Amino acid sequence: MTEAIAPVRPAPALAVEGLTYTYPNAFRPALADVSLTLGAGEFALLAGRSACGKSTLLRAACGLVPHFHGGEIEGGVSVAGIDAIATGPGDLAAAVGYVAQDPETQVVSTTVAAEIELPLEMRGEPCISRARAVEEVALALAIPHLLRRTVDTLSGGELQRVALAAALVTRPKLVLLDEPTSQLDPVAGDELIWLLRRLNEEWGVAILLAEHRLERCLAAADRVIAMDTGAIAFDGAPTDFLAWAQDTDTALETPAARLFSLADITPLPTGVRDARRTLTSKEAGAGERVGGPGGALGFSPLSGRLSPTRRGEKQDAAHHQDPRPSSNATAVELRNLWIELNSADQVRDVVRGVDLRIGRGERVALMGRNGAGKSTLLRTIAGLVDPVRGKIDAPGGIALLTQNPSDYLVRERVGDELPGEEGRAALRVVGLEHAVEADPRDLSGGERQRLALAIALAGRMEGEDLPGLVALDEPTRGMDRARKHELVELVEALADRGAGVVVATHDVEFAAAFAERVVLLGDGVVIADGSAAEVLSGGWYFATEVARILDLPGVVTPEQGAAALAEDLG
């Protein structure tokens, strides 16, 4: 007699049951009664505003909470059937891989090969199987050429891949990633997300990804979990999440969803392909010809339907909100600027013969892939790096806010950083006059950034003292949309006072929100320089989500897109 074999159900990749956690010395819990189950092979996106508990949940899932951080914990967490609260993170690492936000502190070895091999070595794996695992994970992540390199010669994107490889080398059932694209350019960010999707599909690895720039990864996800003040506020499919965000928290809307929401089109799209498909069906329903010539992708829902005159009108209309008349006063002028840096035993031309003029009152986004020379250019203008050739003319001086605002905060009281009446004036300008007695470390990320800007501008806030150029280097790392909006207002206020403002950024949506001009650097040379509307609607990677959907010259923001759609479909 044969018995029917019952199918074995694999343990969920992650099961969290009634989890409440409070950090040591904290007054309120970082996680409050969180319950969720992530099935084997699922790809889930963890969304929510800054400090809502995303990182803490990820740390609980890999065992760092409570084993490493301490604190009080209630409830249960299990990873692939292993009790994460009873087991330490070292033992859990065979079942779960964790990649944190800052790649600098995630590498502990000297060479890439040793870094990837370390988790296996710690488990006493034999040399031959270690070598095979390192080779396979390197191939999967397209980094075999990096294996012999030392980690201090890698770019941020390469380091992030190495950290991911070290997390994957034990072939875990679950991979946790905390804002892995925050330091990557649009190209590297997109590559990483689709790499995760491929690993998820081919290896069956469950992925839990915390991210602010949802437009980058929503289309790749099977499910979205949104958190609010330590609790789960939403758990469902991406399309349902967009409808929830529209009703509950518009700061979590993607630009594509905002476009459709403003144009009153349903269903809300999870990505560019989804949006184009919906628009095509709308056009077909309206009896129009589908597709048309032109469009960077060989297909454009609308470009075939707009007459050249109307397209031109749209471009003018879309030219950024209140385009400032080009100022005659120069904020900075670069002539034939060449900059060399030493890297990995060789001297490299980072900036090659750049000519650039920025006027006072202009808002400029400086864009380009990792290593294109953006930060080096700003540091050179600020006098931190000497050019090898060329001339820099900055008649009003420059105030530079470098990538990490915490570098400016060296005292334990805000008032000690900015003493005297002029210090108070600087705090007033950035809206921090109430925080004089606070410890800078207790401020939120956005407040810390404003304080750092006030320190850079202290004594130069008024009239002729205001620097001709205010430069910010990657200011939106790890910021949610609400904080980015505050930053846009600050940039506009500085430009209104007469400073030229240049922001080096990878965030195309942020650039579209604040900039009237975009300068695109590629391999140390300026490869595009024009209005934000023109540059951000003319490509694949350095283009906003709305621009990629509509492919209309000059249309980059959801508001501009909605106006174009209303005119075209209405």
Residues 398-427 close enough to bind other proteins by CB under 8 A: 399-402, 404, 406-411, 416-420, 422-423, 426
247: tokens are 């009703």
Is residue 530 within 8 Å of residue 365, measured between CB atoms?
no
**Least distance (Å) from other proteins to the CB of residue 154?**
12
Measured CA angle at 174 (ends 170, 175), to 5 deg = 80
Q: Are 57 and 47 in contact (CB under 8 A)?
A: no
Residue 147 or 515 having the CB closest to other proteins: 147
Of the pair 289, 441, the CB lying nearest other proteins is at 441
CA distance 326 to 359: 7
Q: Is the peptide bond before 119 cis (omega within 30 degrees of 0)?
A: no
Q: Does 340 bind other proteins (CB under 8 A)?
A: no
CA-based angle 296:301:307, to the nearest 5? 85
Site for other proteins in 136-195 (CB under 8 A): 148-150, 152-153, 166-167
Looking at the Cβ atoms of 104 and 264, the one nearer to other proteins is: 104
Distance CA 322, CA 348 (A): 40
Rounded Cα–Cα distance for residues 158 and 155 (Å): 5
Tokens of 109: 């070895």
Q: Which span sits near other proteins by CB under 8 A: 42-50, 71-79, 97-105, 198-206?
A: 97-105
Quick one: 460 or 548, whose CB is closer to other proteins? Answer: 460
Task: Pick the closer one to other proteins by CB: 45 or 458.
Answer: 458
Query: Which of the residues 194 through 213 are near other proteins (CB under 8 A)?
Result: none
Sheet of strand 96-99, all strands in order from the earlier edge strand to the far edge: 96-99, 174-178, 206-210, 43-47, 223-228, 231-236
CB of 126 to other proteins, least distance (A): 5
**Closest separation between CB of residue 374 and other proteins, Å?**
16
Rule CB under 8 A: which of 353-382 touch other proteins?
Answer: 379, 382
Q: Work out the burial of residue 454: count CB atoms within 10 Å of its CB; fewer than 13 is exposed, 13-18 middle, 19 or more buried.
A: buried
Binding mask 379-398 for other proteins (x = CB under 8 A): x--xxx--------------
Stretch that binds other proteins, among 90-98, 202-210, 295-303, 477-485 (CB under 8 A): 90-98
Task: Note the helical H segments in 288-335.
Answer: 308-318
**309 versus 342: smaller Cβ distance to other proteins:** 342
Give which of 430, 425, 474 is closest to 451, Cα–Cα.
430
**22 or 375, CB closer to other proteins?**
375
Per the rule left: phi > 0, alpha: psi between -120 and 50, beta: everything else, 522 is beta
CB of 522 to other proteins, least distance (A): 24
CB of 462 to other proteins, least distance (A): 11
Q: What is the DSSP letter of 14?
A: E
Site string for other proteins, 45-84 (x = CB under 8 A): -----------------x-x--xx----------------
**Is residue 272 a contact point for other proteins (CB under 8 A)?**
no
Q: Return the structure tokens found at 228.
A: 């609010």
Residue 198 C-alpha from the chain's centroid: 21
Question: Using CB under 8 A, which residues numbered 444 to 483 contact other proteins?
Answer: 455-460
User: To the nearest whole angstrom, how small is the minimum distance from the Cβ of residue 183 to other proteins?
Assistant: 15
Residue span 109-138 as binding mask against other proteins, x where in contact by CB under 8 A, dash where not: xxx--x---xx-xxxx-xxx----------
Contacting residue, 344, 388, 395, 566, with other proteins by CB under 8 A: 344
Count of residues engaged in binding other proteins, rule: CB under 8 A: 71
Element (H, E) at 365: strand 363-367
Confirm if 528 and 543 have CB atoms less than 8 A apart.
Answer: no
Interacting residues with other proteins between 523 and 562 (CB under 8 A)? none
Closest by alpha carbon to 93, among 167, 39, 161, 40? 167
Contact between 91 and other proteins by CB under 8 A: the answer reads yes
